[in-house]
Amino acid sequence: MTGEPQDDCLFCKIVAGQIPATIVRETDTTVAFRDINLQAPTHVLVIPKAHHKDAAALAAEAPQLAADVLRETQAVADDEKLDSYRIVFNTGSGAGQTVWHAHAHVLGGRGLEWPPG
C-alpha cells in the first residue's frame, strides 16, 4: 500500500530508529536530520515518515503530507536563522536522486549560485 515502510529503504530505517541520524526536528508526520555529506553550512533533509518514492509521488499520493514537508523546511530555516535558503528535491537519477524516499534538501549558510549545476 502507498506510504508503507519499505524494508530496503535507508530513510524508512532512519524513521524507525534502525539507523542513527542527527535529528533536528520531528513532527507526527515528518523528520528532519542533517545530511551526512554537507553541501553547505546548513544542509538538512526533511522527509515524510511515510514512504513515497519522490516529491512528485508524494504530492500526488499525499498532498497534505507534501505540505507538512514544505512547512518543516521553513521551520528548519527559522531554527538555523537562515533568511535565504534553497529547497531542492532531486527527482530521478539524472538529477542526482540516490535515495528513493522523498526528501527536501534545505541548503543555506553560504551564497548559493543560480543557476545550480
**Is residue 27 within the footprint of ligand AMP (CB under 6 A)?**
no
Report the nearest approach of Zn ion to the CB of residue 31 (Å). 11
**Is residue 37 within the footprint of ligand AMP (CB under 6 A)?**
yes
Of 98, 111, 115, 117, which one interacts with ligand AMP (CB under 6 A)?
A: 98
Report the nearest approach of ligand AMP to the CB of residue 32 (Å). 11
Q: Is 52 one of the catalytic residues?
A: no
- Cα–Cα distances in Å, from 84 out to 74, 87, 89? 10, 10, 17
Q: Is residue 97 exposed (0-12), middle (13-18) or buried (19+ Cβ within 10 Å)? A: middle
N residues, the chain: 117
